[in-house]
Structure 1
């Protein structure tokens, strides 16, 4: 296979055609729109499906267990990006990874849509976890392939891309949440249809719009390596199956033990990734310096996502149990609150995209944007503790408190998420381009692995301490990052 330079790949993509951006952004915008429609529609009702009584159509799990499983599921979704990034970098490229991932996700939602038992639930989770691992990091890598390294449109392009993600995420909880009381399985079926629409969009437009973006295998396996790798993968899968068959019936591998194991892996795996890439002979000295700069950004992202991702666990439970759902003459579904985050991003993303283009070289550096993001995320948790401070934990809370908390956190997200995606494509070693994008999503995996442990401490009685400690920790870390941001910038070797 021919080896193309980054500039040749950029030149193969029509550079004008979607709001002044490469034409391929249209394809990836709508592919990710429908994938996120399916994912967030499913996620909006999943925790309720787990802890609602069987008589109400749920699985009847313990509430605390359901919250921990939800966090672990989210962690594994992003952790599986390691597999997707490796397959893209070493075997079939990012475009094919996106397509294969979409197929697995669709079948995962179909499995959820079939009324069944707890076994069918876990089968669907495996399919969605693996599918998202293939699609999620790689579609973002294709976006990065369409821009030259010095193209000032890059951050703006990622902001538009993130707006597409959140357009799908906004609509789906409203639709799926509305049918939740009728049938959880109908809601999951709607999510499956959304993923099918995304696959159709991708297949019909990729050839014309994407050019060579995502088709090149960055670090292909040699024939000898393939034989060794596939043998090891086969042995590994066989060992996992054997361990599950032996340990689960014996009561050794319980849900609680699995949650703790994933918590350890959530920290251990990204640490190993940094070490392997840093020590690789394929990583240059400049790339090693950029990896060192990436570490504090990664830690900051873990802190931020730990707060943001509690929108589908603690804040979802808060909406269901602590919030006045009869408001302004209508009854609110607790799932609808999960549309707030993407709604605010849809409104504010164009503002931030315009702002970065307008400021150009005068905009804050990447570390400074990350530090501001942590300040806002911490403030969003301090806001949500105020109702308990003023009115106690016994009554129902005005839903506008949740609205305000989501709004503040979204401002932080727009300072971190698209900027982090863009920074990852610029700081990644060339031999690990897709895998470094997987590493970025591991910040979310690590955050949710941590969340699976800390959500156990949340009760109405500990509400104020819970939000106060976590929110305060985010603000403190944000201040530290702001102070050391010039030092981090120096290690980035010219990347802003």
Structure 2
């Protein structure tokens, strides 16, 4: 590890233990701009796919659009497996982050340049490839700023997670405003949306992040992340790329894989936000406030807003528990509680569906805005108990030579979940929102309880 990450500006190791290294905040802002780009585009995607050609969209049916959305958001979490493998062996993390950022910017520029199906699939393809290089490596770099037993690790990943959600908060507001308001026009009585300007804003955000990262990288990260893992990993200054995994390393690897399988169920529910929750909000939620109708895409900012507000509190909770006599909660229990909280959010939403029904041609009454807000609140709490903890876990216990690859495996769970989420969202047209939301909520609570029951075994494997 680069010793510069262990010392503060005064050179005092003791002072550095109280503060996070400055490299954390560089990675914070780099991830913030990347997430601005991703969530800005993603917040518009389902609307762009379903609006008619004359309205500036591509005219897909809701079922086909949900499937495209699901496969895209799934694929962006599968390519980190390939990007992580390449980084572990051939290229440094920082170069991979730059390759990924530039490729994703080009993807959004393709969506801006032409509103055709060919440009759609080209743009989505570039975004998928770029994310594969970017996503696993920036998270792993955060972990490398800290020693394995540093008590600040979970708090650091929670702070890093705030960067993710700061970008995710502003993205739908900016890109959604440009597409659904500022550049929206009326032609022959038909509303025409300016989706391409939202995609342009997403591209600009990605470019800004890459400029900051490359200008300040050497200053705040030193040599961290410049070499592939197999070249950086040494014991007594000898390479260990061909050394077999120890029994402890194998147990830790299996613990990551087992927990990853549980996490699929969490993200399959959570990722309904961009599809079934957005479509339900558009049709069945009363979005009017003081005579103004809130854009649908703006609801994608509710979750990151709650993250920004609640992440510092959760971060302080983990530090307080870690320093208490009883000690911190085991990772599997934290994540099990996260799944239970997610399920509770869907139960709240199911109550709203009982009021509104699922038939848009015969809406009895629209749901109060607070139902969707409370749903996002519980989903956010669940996310804070699960996602940053998982990132911290993988970076802490993964064998060095498999660090980026296992981070890719962790992210791939979200990929599987997104594909499943898209297919589940497509079923709302036939099964109805009540059935879908109720089943998702019940399964999330069930698997959350199972995870807490097997937590002792998993904790021993992670030791």
Tell me the TM-score normalised to structure 2 length: 0.89
- Measured in 2, the distance between the counterparts of 1:104 and 1:97 equals 11
State which of 348, 356, 368 in structure 1 corresponds to 2:310: 348
Return 5+ residue gaps in structure 2 as ranges.
10-15, 185-193, 233-241
Structure 1 contact 13–212 (Cα < 8 Å) conserved: no
Number of residues of Structure 1 aligned to a counterpart in Structure 2: 427
Structure 2 contact 260–413 (Cα < 8 Å) conserved: yes
CA deviations on 1:192-214 (whole Å, 9 max, x unpaired) are: 11001001110111001012221
Return 5+ residue gaps in structure 1 as ranges.
1-8, 222-279
- Measured in 1, the distance between the counterparts of 2:222 and 2:243 equals 31
1:98 lines up with 2:97 in the alignment: yes
- Measured in 1, the distance between the counterparts of 2:367 and 2:27 equals 40
Structure 2 contact 333–455 (Cα < 8 Å) conserved: yes
Which residue of structure 2 aligns with residue 54 of structure 1? 53
Provide the aligned C-alpha RMSD in A. Answer: 1.7
Measured after TM superposition, the shift of residue 133 of structure 1 is: 1.0
Measured after TM superposition, the shift of residue 396 of structure 1 is: 2.3
CA deviations on 1:253-302 (whole Å, 9 max, x unpaired) are: xxxxxxxxxxxxxxxxxxxxxxxxxxx96321111111222233112211
- Measured in 1, the distance between the counterparts of 2:356 and 2:61 equals 28
Q: Secondary structure at the match of 1:214?
A: coil
- Measured in 2, the distance between the counterparts of 1:396 and 1:281 equals 62
Which residue of structure 1 aligns with residue 377 of structure 2? 407
Of 25-34 and 296-305, more deviation after overlay is shown by 296-305
Measured after TM superposition, the shift of residue 406 of structure 1 is: 0.5
Structure 1 contact 379–475 (Cα < 8 Å) conserved: yes
CA deviations on 1:406-441 (whole Å, 9 max, x unpaired) are: 000100000001100000012212211111111110
Which residue of structure 1 aligns with residue 411 of structure 2? 441
Measured after TM superposition, the shift of residue 325 of structure 1 is: 2.3
1:119 lines up with 2:118 in the alignment: yes
- Measured in 1, the distance between the counterparts of 2:456 and 2:302 equals 34
Which residue of structure 2 aligns with residue 178 of structure 1? 177
CA deviations on 1:137-159 (whole Å, 9 max, x unpaired) are: 11001111110111111111000
- Measured in 1, the distance between the counterparts of 2:155 and 2:21 equals 12
1:339 lines up with 2:350 in the alignment: no
- Measured in 1, the distance between the counterparts of 2:231 and 2:74 equals 28
1:13 lines up with 2:12 in the alignment: no
- Measured in 2, the distance between the counterparts of 1:208 and 1:324 equals 50
Which residue of structure 2 aligns with residue 471 of structure 1? 441
CA deviations on 1:345-380 (whole Å, 9 max, x unpaired) are: 000001111111111152211010011011001111
- Measured in 2, the distance between the counterparts of 1:388 and 1:370 equals 28
Which residue of structure 1 aligns with residue 328 of structure 2? 363
- Measured in 2, the distance between the counterparts of 1:215 and 1:13 equals 15
Measured after TM superposition, the shift of residue 478 of structure 1 is: 0.9
Q: Secondary structure at the match of 1:415?
A: helix
Structure 1 contact 12–212 (Cα < 8 Å) conserved: no
Which residue of structure 2 aligns with residue 378 of structure 1? 343
Which residue of structure 2 aligns with residue 109 of structure 1? 108
Structure 2 vs 1, CA of residues 317 and 92 (structure 1 numbering), >3 Å: closer, same or farther? same
Tell me the TM-score normalised to structure 1 length: 0.83
- Measured in 1, the distance between the counterparts of 2:291 and 2:214 equals 44
Query: What are the within-5 Å matches in structure 2 for residues 65-464 of structure 1?
Result: 65-181=64-180, 182=184, 183-219=194-230, 282-360=244-322, 362-393=327-358, 394=363, 395-459=365-429, 462-464=432-434
Measured after TM superposition, the shift of residue 87 of structure 1 is: 1.6
Q: Secondary structure at the match of 1:324?
A: coil
- Measured in 2, the distance between the counterparts of 1:33 and 1:357 equals 24
- Measured in 2, the distance between the counterparts of 1:289 and 1:313 equals 37
Structure 1 contact 300–370 (Cα < 8 Å) conserved: no
1:480 lines up with 2:450 in the alignment: yes
- Measured in 2, the distance between the counterparts of 1:140 and 1:16 equals 22
Structure 2 contact 58–115 (Cα < 8 Å) conserved: no
